[in-house]
Structure 1
Amino acid sequence: MDKEKVLGLLDQLKPILAGKAESIGAETAKQLTATLDQTRAEVVQGEGMALGISLQGLVQAVSNASLPGTELRFTDEEKPVWEELKSLTDKERTDIFRGVHLF
């Protein structure tokens, strides 16, 4: 996984999530931003499978906040950042599972 690409996406996602405070509530926005910050720190320090595992927690938290009945929605301009981050995480998860099955 390309760390620089992931870090760039996380850096782009942070102001998007922070800007959602009015629609999702300040506390939820603060929690998501804190999770993003923690994930970013883990990505900076991590390698290999650890990167994918770190990203999975963030993707799950944001996904939960954007389930039907919740208020987190991404605009057409914001969606590409979120979709690319999800896609990288899904690919990494698939690669991890493929590696586990080889043993």
Structure 2
Amino acid sequence: MTDEKRDRPTLPARRVPRPAPDLGRDPIDVPPPATPEVTSASHANTRPEFTAAALPRREVTVQLGTRVGERTKDLLDYVKATEKQDIRTSIEVAVEEKYGHLLPRDV
């Protein structure tokens, strides 16, 4: 008898996963920022200069994993359809109107 199984198709060899490029690096280790002199010297005439004030400020967001009732979801869907306002904005506006006075305002 032979060990070959001719009735089964031949499959390609399984791929072995490659390690991540930052495998040996601690995630808390952040490379130090480049000094402006080095940055501007290395990128001279390659892109326009931007100041920190000219760049838009990014808003930090957090994931809010919570369940809401069916009536609340229906209301959010209605607001989304009629006011053209996404669910996130609707929730933020409602919470700010109801409880915004409890925290001090940012300057």
Which range, TM-score by smaller chain?
under 0.3
Give me the TM-score of the superposition, normalised by structure 2.
0.22
Larger Rg over CA atoms? 2
Q: TM-score, normalised by structure 1?
A: 0.23
* Structure with higher helix content: 1
